[in-house]
């Protein structure tokens, strides 16, 4: 049943590309995880049925990345495991309503795997040479999956799938590199997203936004520290009467290298608290994410 549901979902919904082979075999053999082979998924069985579905989907999806594409999974694991985990997380969120691992709302993305530091972090483009048991999860799965999710949120699901499907069409079986993926997305979506690719895949960086108030009814959202990554801005305004308001700015407010974004508010007199959303937006330090006003 899980196999059938996975193939139907990948073929018709997300990414909406027909399964690339004429058969697939799934069996329970490994311990504590899963392993993919062309047209074969070797999965563990878990007490949590959603986790079992996640692992089943994940190992089957590898038939798209890297097998269908011919990706170099050793040199570019963020294309292999990263894309696979992104689609796997989307699947369990969509089908089971579970914020699983790296899906929006899951603090596992940062708080439980807090490798965003100068000691642990490295540019994803070169992490095949930086791996050890501790940071493999971070470099292979966590950081790239988070990047793809934020990019999809910025451009919209329809545009993301349009770009990804065209990437598959153009590069199926041709051993594409990350550069081919990035430039295909730029081309299909008719936008220069190199500022995003540079920050998340080629630079040292960490997610950290902070808040400051001005005297003219404005909130300053600033990127904290050198190397802080571009992120969407989601402000929650709580008023004295208990009502709330959400103010959002897309991630591309940082595309020209801005360090601060100013958001003007109508009136501070009836505002009790202003805070950044750290549930759906990663942030390594919460000490500057909220301000008591009145």
Whether 155 and 242 share a structural domain: no
CB 231 within 8 A of CB 251: yes
Q: Does pLDDT of 130 surpass 70?
A: no
Q: Estimate to the nearest angstrom the gap between the alpha carbon of 142 and the chain centroid.
A: 8
Share of the chain above pLDDT 70, in %: 87
Distances (CA, A) of 67 to 25, 132, 187: 15, 24, 24
What is the per-residue pLDDT for 118? 47
Residue that is written with structure tokens 């799965």 in the block: 141
Q: What is the average per-residue pLDDT within 104-129?
A: 63
Whether 90 and 231 share a structural domain: no
Q: What is the average per-residue pLDDT within 130-146?
A: 78
Interstrand relation of 34-37 and 209-213 (parallel, antiparallel or unpaired): unpaired
Domain with 231, as residue range(s), is 209-292
Query: For the chain, how are helix, strand and coil distributed in percent, rounded to 5?
Result: 40, 20, 40
| pTM, rounded to two decimals | 0.90
Rounded to whole angstroms, the Cα distance separating 17 from 11 reads 5
Whether 269 and 170 share a structural domain: no
CB 110 within 8 A of CB 121: no
Binning pLDDT at 50, 70 and 90, where does residue 113 land? very low
Q: Is the dihedral of CA 225, 229, 230, 233 positive or negative?
A: negative
What is the per-residue pLDDT for 41? 73
- End-to-end CA distance of the chain, in Å? 55
Share of the chain above pLDDT 90, in %: 39
Binning pLDDT at 50, 70 and 90, where does residue 112 land? very low
Q: What is the pLDDT of residues 51-87, one digit of tens each?
A: 888 888 888 999 999 988 999 988 999 999 999 999 9
Count how many domains the chain has: 2
Binning pLDDT at 50, 70 and 90, where does residue 270 land? confident
The CATH number linked to 180 is 1.10.390.10
Binning pLDDT at 50, 70 and 90, where does residue 248 land? very high
Whether 255 and 276 share a structural domain: yes
The CATH number linked to 214 is 2.60.40
Binning pLDDT at 50, 70 and 90, where does residue 261 land? very high
Rounded to whole angstroms, the Cα distance separating 144 from 74 reads 15
Whether 72 and 214 share a structural domain: no
Rounded to whole angstroms, the Cα distance separating 138 from 110 reads 10
Q: What is the average per-residue pLDDT within 113-125?
A: 65
Q: Does pLDDT of 150 surpass 80?
A: yes
What is the per-residue pLDDT for 31? 67
Domain boundary among 157, 174, 202: 202
Domain boundary among 176, 202, 228: 202
Binning pLDDT at 50, 70 and 90, where does residue 164 land? very high
Whether 173 and 246 share a structural domain: no
Torsion over CA of 227, 122, 119 and 58, rounded to 10 degrees? Answer: 110
Q: Does pLDDT of 205 surpass 70?
A: yes
- 40 or 271: which carries more pLDDT confidence? 271
Residue 232 in tokens: 């969407």
Whether 115 and 72 share a structural domain: yes
What is the per-residue pLDDT for 285? 81
CB 189 within 8 A of CB 195: no
Q: Is the dihedral of CA 188, 194, 196, 201 positive or negative?
A: positive
Q: Does pLDDT of 183 surpass 50?
A: yes
What is the per-residue pLDDT for 143? 86
Whether 226 and 191 share a structural domain: no
Whether 195 and 63 share a structural domain: yes
Q: Quick one: DSSP state of residue 230?
A: P
What is the per-residue pLDDT for 281? 87
Distances (CA, A) of 167 to 65, 185, 243, 252: 12, 7, 45, 22
Binning pLDDT at 50, 70 and 90, where does residue 233 land? very high
Per the document, the length of the chain is 294
Whether 151 and 213 share a structural domain: no
What is the per-residue pLDDT for 215? 76
């Amino acid at each position: 049943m899980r196999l059938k549901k996975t193939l139907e979902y990948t073929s018709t919904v997300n990414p909406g590309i027909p399964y690339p082979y004429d058969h697939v075999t799934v069996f329970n053999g490994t311990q504590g995880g899963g392993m993919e082979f062309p047209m074969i998924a070797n999965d563990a069985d878990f007490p949590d049925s959603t986790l079992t579905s996640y692992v089943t989907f994940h190992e089957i999806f590898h038939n798209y990345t890297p097998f269908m594409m011919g990706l170099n999974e050793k040199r570019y694991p963020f294309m292999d495991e990263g894309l696979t985990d992104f689609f796997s997380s989307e699947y369990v969120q969509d089908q089971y309503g579970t914020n699983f691992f790296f899906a929006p709302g899951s603090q596992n993305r940062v708080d439980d795997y807090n490798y965003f530091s100068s000691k642990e972090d490295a540019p994803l483009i070169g992490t095949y040479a930086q791996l050890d048991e501790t940071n493999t999860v971070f470099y292979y799965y966590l950081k790239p999956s988070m990047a793809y999710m934020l990019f999809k949120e910025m451009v919209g699901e329809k545009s993301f799938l349009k770009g990804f499907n065209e990437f598959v069409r153009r590069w199926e079986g041709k051993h594409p590199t990350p550069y081919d993926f990035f430039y295909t997305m730029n081309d299909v979506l008719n936008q220069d997203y190199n500022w995003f690719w540079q920050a998340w895949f080629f630079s040292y960086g960490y997610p950290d936004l902070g808040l400051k108030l001005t005297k003219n009814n404005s909130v300053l959202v600033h990127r904290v520290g050198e190397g802080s990554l571009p992120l969407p801005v989601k402000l929650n305004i709580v008023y004295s009467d208990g009502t709330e308001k959400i103010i959002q700015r897309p991630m591309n407010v940082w595309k020209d290298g801005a360090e601060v974004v100013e958001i003007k508010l109508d009136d501070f007199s009836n505002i009790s608290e202003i805070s950044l959303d750290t549930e759906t937006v990663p942030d390594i330090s919460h000490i500057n994410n909220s301000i008591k006003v009145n």
